[in-house]
Amino acid sequence: MPLFPQLYSKEQVFISGRYAFELKRMEKNILRFTNSGGPQDRLALLAFCRDMYAELERERLDLLAREEAWRREWGGKKGQVRALFDAIDTDGSGVIDIDELSQALHQMPDFFGYSDGGTPEGMQEWLKDEVAGAAGGAGVIDLFKRLDADGDGKVNWEEFWTVIGEWMETGFNRLEELRKREGQLKEERERALAEEATRHAAEEERKRREAEESLQRDMEKEQRKAELAAMDEADKEAARQKKK
């Protein structure tokens, strides 16, 4: 092929990763739709793609709404987090040292696990991920290093809140990952059930056809026997007529 046409051939068209992903997702969804018995004419496929992307847009708007609600909820609890900081700062110096943090972890093993108006519920799960064995010596050291951003051996309020703010950012993403994973598992279960139903229907259809074919063969055998019996009777009758 000459160079000029090559430059405009399909192989040379650049498609960004985002659009390649969308095309692949659309292709997979269309295959699922048609394999499940959906119509394959052009108008039906266009309607399916329209509805699919309308649903994706609804999901995107729902995601934004959930994120906004999340930020409103956690942003309004900064005062509770400050109260926790002050409770850990037992000497009232305005900073937390490692002894104060260690004492707090021994007094409150779940640390952020207040449930009655204290620090928001759920932060203890974050600590389990971030610091192994938070109530032990190694856990205290690791957590203190995480909080002490400038490494001066003291944790001030800004450093403390920065870490909590980071959790606020990642916490929403973790919840959405869990939601997405649950949705994928649900789809896989539904797909497995649909496939099992399809296999069962195919097996029942196979048995029905085999039964019909067997019945047809038996009928043909009986018909053949009847024909042979009729022929035999005709031969006998012809023999009797011949003797007469």
Q: Which two tokens stand for residue 118?
A: 């204290």
* pLDDT tens, residue order, the chain (244 aa): 444 444 444 555 666 777 778 888 888 888 888 888 888 888 888 888 889 888 888 888 887 787 777 666 666 667 777 888 898 899 999 999 988 988 887 776 544 433 333 344 444 454 444 444 444 444 677 778 888 989 999 999 999 888 876 776 666 676 677 677 777 888 888 888 888 888 888 899 999 999 999 999 989 998 998 888 888 888 787 777 777 6
The C-alpha torsion from 68 through 72 and 74 to 76, rounded to 10°, is 170
pTM: 0.39
- Number of neighbours of residue 136 by Cβ within 10 angstroms: 14
Q: Which two tokens stand for residue 43?
A: 């108008």
Q: Which two tokens stand for residue 101?
A: 């943090």
* CA–CA dist 84, 93 (Å, integer): 14
